[in-house]
Amino acid sequence: MSETKAARPILAKFCEGVGIDIGFGGSAIVPNAITFDMNKGYCDSLEGHKQILRGDCKSLPYICDEAFDYVYSSHLLEDFSYKELIPILREWRRILKKDGLLVTNCPDQQKFLAHCAKTGQPLNLAHKEQDFSLNKFREMANKAGAWEEVFVEPNAGSYSWYLVLRKK
């Protein structure tokens, strides 16, 4: 089961209006999300969802300022260093409308490592920061701009957390 499919019952309610699912990976958070991922063909379709946009999530110059009601991302942000993460969050914040929502589903790296050790699941070598966590992400998000915390679930599944922030 995809991380998004597992999160859908809780996070889909925050994905209303016009929004983008960045790093979609074949499983869209809601049926009408604009799905966005890299140029690689690994995200053809897990659940019948089609990819709409391709590119690099670090720079979205073809998307207007304040275009979206929400930006959703699942298990992507941990693939960047903290130095990279702040500009990415600024860019995603730019494309959010005022009061728009940043809806995130991410792993706690230390819980993920413990889960892998316990279950034999292979490590994800794309994860960049060994201390990536909800609190570290909050710190990075606050460096990218002003947010209001709308929803948090610090213990989602075996190793993930959910956080919904409203752009101030």
The residues spanned by each domain of the chain are 3-167
pLDDT band, very low/low/confident/very high, at 80 (cuts 50, 70, 90): very high
Say if residue 119's pLDDT is above 60: yes
pLDDT band, very low/low/confident/very high, at 43 (cuts 50, 70, 90): low
Q: Residue 26's pLDDT is what?
A: 87
| CATH superfamily for domain 3-167 | Vaccinia Virus protein VP39 (3.40.50.150)
pLDDT band, very low/low/confident/very high, at 41 (cuts 50, 70, 90): low
What is the mean pLDDT of the segment spanning 32-58? 81
Q: Residue 46's pLDDT is what?
A: 63
What is the mean pLDDT of the segment spanning 74-91? 97
> The pTM is what?
0.95
Cβ contacts of 83-90, under 8 Å, gap ≥ 24: 84/58, 84/128, 85/140, 86/140, 86/143, 86/144, 87/58, 87/144, 88/57, 88/58, 89/140, 89/141, 89/143, 89/144, 89/145, 90/144, 90/145
Say if residue 49's pLDDT is above 90: no
What is the mean pLDDT of the segment spanning 99-110? 98
Provide the CB-side half-sphere exposure for 85 (13 A, CA): 20
Cα separation values, 7 from 2, 54, 85, 98, 134, Å: 9, 23, 22, 25, 16
pLDDT band, very low/low/confident/very high, at 161 (cuts 50, 70, 90): very high
**Mean pLDDT, the chain, integer:** 94
Residues 12 and 92: their CA atoms lie apart, in Å, by: 18
